[in-house]
Amino acid sequence: MPRIISVINQKGGVGKTTTAINLAAGLAIKNWLNVLLIDLDPQGNASTGVGIDPSQRDKSIYDLLIGKNSFSESIKKTKINNLKIITANPELSGLETELANDSQKAFLLKNLIGDSFQEIEKENFSYIIIDCPPSLSLLTIMSLVASNTLVVPLQAEFFALEGLSQLVKTIERIKINLNKDLDIHGILLTMFDKRNKLCGEVEKEARNFFGQKVYNSNIPRNVRISEAPSFGLPVILYDKYCAGALAYNEFVEEFITRETSKEKKVA
Ligand SMILES: Nc1ncnc2c1ncn2[C@@H]1O[C@H](COP(=O)(O)OP(=O)(O)O)[C@@H](O)[C@H]1O
Ligand SMILES: [Mg+2]
């Protein structure tokens, strides 16, 4: 089965979608791995970011979760080699209310992936990357239950660490009750401005508290990163040599290095 990674932080606008897209594309292009990106945010930003027009977002993750479509039917090609996507659309925001009386709802995504293993095997995915919505709602809980590990983008700003402690508490609760093997792969500082003193302080605090969990790579604030989605491309393809692309490439390399050192530890 593929490794399942959630890109998560309950705060909006911290770089989750940007990180999910560039991690997924980086693994697909640079490491020639088959990757599935799941857009789990009703806003559908990840779908936009890899060039899927709103009119092509039928057979979405919502339809898959309510059993209207099979896994294979939900998977769409992107213009990026080796990268496929399951899209999201606004219907997804109604799911929580629809499932209000379902006692197993937290396991919905996990069970679905488990039950679809033959279809997933056929696609030969090495990774499933899930772009989470900005909340700790059912969708995020589902994603935490289904995942092996988490990438947490942290915007280097004043309240960042406060939000993170709430996330860590949620992760601990999920580990006790619903997914005991879940761990944090790493924390990625985003929109980093090294001339800004506050950024440096947030970095220091994050490294003091989370130690090695904080990736060495930081993502700078970079205008090319914010332009890329309107061209339907991850920044690592939109402008290969801009500071944002170089930083995301470095992050993907670090991600892979952590993955291989983990494999060695297990072996
Ligand atoms: N490093 C960065 N530099 C500049 N703009 C960025 C950077 N990372 C993200 N953005 C922009 O900030 C906004 C929020 O980022 P996004 O990845 O959508 O966050 P989230 O998914 O956490 O809400 C988007 O418009 C995105 O293009
Ligand atoms: Mg997002």
Q: Which ligand is nearest to the CA of 228?
A: 1
Distance from C-alpha of 128 to C-alpha of 260, rounded to nearest angstrom: 17
Question: Which atom of ligand 1 is nearest to 191's Cα?
Answer: 1
pLDDT at 153: 98
pLDDT at 194: 87
Ligand 1: residues with CB < 6 A are: 12-18, 45, 134, 190-191, 219, 221-222, 225-226, 229, 244
pLDDT at 161: 85
pLDDT at 267: 65
Return the residue whose CA atom lies nearest to atom 16 of ligand 1.
15
Mind listing the pLDDT tens digit for each residue in 242-263? 999 999 999 999 999 999 987 7
Question: Which atom of ligand 1 is nearest to 45's Cα?
Answer: 18
pLDDT < 50 stretches in the chain: none
pLDDT at 159: 82
Distance, CA 134 to ligand 2 centroid (Å)?
7
Mind listing the pLDDT tens digit for each residue in 12-62? 999 999 999 999 999 999 989 999 999 999 999 999 999 999 999 999 999
pLDDT at 160: 84
Distance, CA 114 to ligand 1 centroid (Å)?
32
Return the residue whose CA atom lies nearest to atom 13 of ligand 1.
13
State how many domains the chain has.
1
Distance, CA 14 to ligand 1 centroid (Å)?
6
- pLDDT above 70 coverage of the chain, percent: 99
Distance, CA 167 to ligand 2 centroid (Å)?
16
Distance, CA 7 to ligand 2 centroid (Å)?
9
CA-nearest of 204, 232, 236 to 219 is: 236
Domain boundaries, position 137? 3-266
Residue 42 Cα distances to 57, 101, 188, 234, angstroms: 11, 21, 23, 19
DSSP H helical ranges for the chain:
16-29, 45-49, 61-65, 71-74, 95-98, 108-115, 117-123, 138-146, 160-177, 197-210, 223-227, 235-238, 243-266
The CATH number assigned to the domain holding 27 equals 3.40.50.300
Question: Which atom of ligand 1 is nearest to 20's Cα?
Answer: 17
